[in-house]
Structure 1
Amino acid sequence: MSDKPQAPLPFVYQFAAGAVAGVSEVPIGRGQDSSLQTGPAVPGGEHYNGMFDCFRKIIKNEGFKTLYRGISAPILMEAPKRATKFAANDSWGAFYRNLFGVEKQTQGLATLTGATAGATEAFVVVPFELVKIRLQDKASAGKYNGMLDVVKKIVKTEGPLAMYNGLESTLWRHILWNAGYFGCIFQVRAQLPKPEPGNKGQQTRNDLLAGSIGGIAGTVLNTPMDVVKSRIQNTTKVPGQIPKYNWAWPAIGTVMKEEGFGALYKGFIPKVLRLGPGGGILLVVFTGMMDFFRKMRDE
């Protein structure tokens, strides 16, 4: 995580620290961002003119609790997702430093490590993301009675492999976000004054700032992939038919052609408001937990 690597902790400690960090980020703005992403405006259907209009109409027409429809999947997902993110980033960082024969992290290695960690993380989150998207989309939510019912019906009607619909777009989404996140963390930390030894306040300030900027940068990079991922995962596979949204980059072209470039950033504001400060909190909690484990082990 840092540009000057400390003695590595065993994988289980990295995983546990990431899991705690992930759970800590859950309360940060778990609003209904996917309502803006799952499809284009349909004549005669509900149309949202931005984040606040979306919130207003959902609360008015469907009730406040609808804002958190599908929340069980992301809650269950956060611990393994963030645990995998940080543990994989530390493990891949050590691997790449050894591979290229360097002792310290560099900007290029920080970005490469983050991208590889993102690819690793994607394999963990795809089924959870699929369930979340199906529950959050108003058009399909009525088909399901909770998270387990989504899994049961998808497997029954679309086959077991359908649980990994959208894997390719999810890979791109996480590669881009993590590359931007960890790459920015390295760069911002390098520009900030080094914390004085033992000064936890300065370390927390630096981590909060670096993580928040990294979260914003990652969100700017990956939102188009997030939009098309939502479209792909919300499409029911029909035998003999090629889905309109199937592969990530062609889907981006389709959205741009039919709806304009701005459609690729639907849901950006609520997402960046969550993942900006959320990225800072993730880094602060992860770093704090790793320091705690090192003290516990008398390091």
Structure 2
Amino acid sequence: KAGFGLPDQMEARSPVRGFVYGGLASAVAEAATMPVDVLKVRMQLQGEGGSARQYRSLADAVAKILRSEGPLAFWKGLKPAVVRQLTYGSLRFGLYAHCRELYGVPANSMQAVPVRKVLAAMTAGGVAAFICTPIDLVKVRMQAEGMPGHAPLPRYNGIGHAFATVVRHEGLLGLYKGVAPTTVRAAAGGAAAV
């Protein structure tokens, strides 16, 4: 096996497969776990800006969100989340083969120097996360939209509108808020996956 659980022969034969399979697998996983991600974001953001905590527990959060916003609230931000995962997964898995080459990791991973494989995985994950930070920011903003007791966010009418609104109010660099920890986390995750 090569890094990221991909068979060596798949990486060696077709890096394009890494892009395609990585993107699709990541998007399916994101869609399946979307309600949990919305709950995580909502619970992380409660109490921000001096607002009162809204949820006492996970069960309380589920009940309150269902009651005040309905079941579709658990799918807020699904489109940017899937776009992000398609892009991130494709880049992370697809770039891994190229990064292995860059660091001189032979096609036969049994002969590979472990440090080089780790560097290749860290680079692929970090680059993918850096590129995907804007869509990740839009996803989180859309998930937090309408959260009671939270500083009001602009209403977004879709991904394009969300991007334009962030750029209009915060500038182009506003899309890269949180880029450093996002990139470091992805690089570390890449290293751990080897």
Structure 2 spans left out of the alignment, 5+ residues: 1-5, 149-153
Matched, 1:110 2:115: no
Structure 1 spans left out of the alignment, 5+ residues: 6-92, 94-103, 285-299
Q: Which whole-Å deviations, capped at 9, do the CAs of 1:157-211 have from their partners, x for residues lacking one?
A: 1112221111111101111111110011111223423177755xx3532431221
What SS does the corresponding residue of 1:142 show, helix, strand or coil? coil
Fraction of identical pairs, as percent = 29
AA at the equivalent of 1:189: R
* 2:120 aligned residue: 210
* 1:194 aligned residue: 106
Distance 1:248 1:269, change over 3 A: same
- Contact kept in structure 1, 2:77 and 2:142, CA below 8 Å: yes
How far apart, in 1, do the equivalents of 2:20 and 2:108 lie? Answer: 29
How far apart, in 1, do the equivalents of 2:189 and 2:177 lie? Answer: 19
* 2:32 aligned residue: 124
How far apart, in 1, do the equivalents of 2:16 and 2:158 lie? Answer: 28
AA at the equivalent of 2:55: Y
How far apart, in 2, do the equivalents of 1:156 and 1:193 lie? Answer: 54
AA at the equivalent of 1:112: V
What SS does the corresponding residue of 2:90 show, helix, strand or coil? helix
Distance 1:244 1:210, change over 3 A: same
How far apart, in 1, do the equivalents of 2:159 and 2:179 lie? Answer: 18
How far off its partner does 1:107 sit? 2.5
How far apart, in 1, do the equivalents of 2:101 and 2:85 lie? Answer: 24
Matched, 1:157 2:162: no
- Contact kept in structure 1, 2:34 and 2:75, CA below 8 Å: yes
How far apart, in 1, do the equivalents of 2:43 and 2:52 lie? Answer: 5
- Contact kept in structure 1, 2:8 and 2:108, CA below 8 Å: no
What SS does the corresponding residue of 2:9 show, helix, strand or coil? coil
With normalisation by structure 1, the TM-score equals 0.55
Say which of 154, 160, 163 aligns to 1:249. 160
Aligned pair count reads 180
Question: After TM superposition, what 4+ stretches of structure 1 lie above 2 angstroms from structure 2?
Answer: 138-141, 195-199, 202-207
Greater radius of gyration (CA): 1
- Contact kept in structure 2, 1:212 and 1:279, CA below 8 Å: yes
Q: Which whole-Å deviations, capped at 9, do the CAs of 1:253-292 have from their partners, x for residues lacking one?
A: 110111100000001111112111221112x2xxxxxxxx
Q: Which whole-Å deviations, capped at 9, do the CAs of 1:57-89 have from their partners, x for residues lacking one?
A: xxxxxxxxxxxxxxxxxxxxxxxxxxxxxxxxx
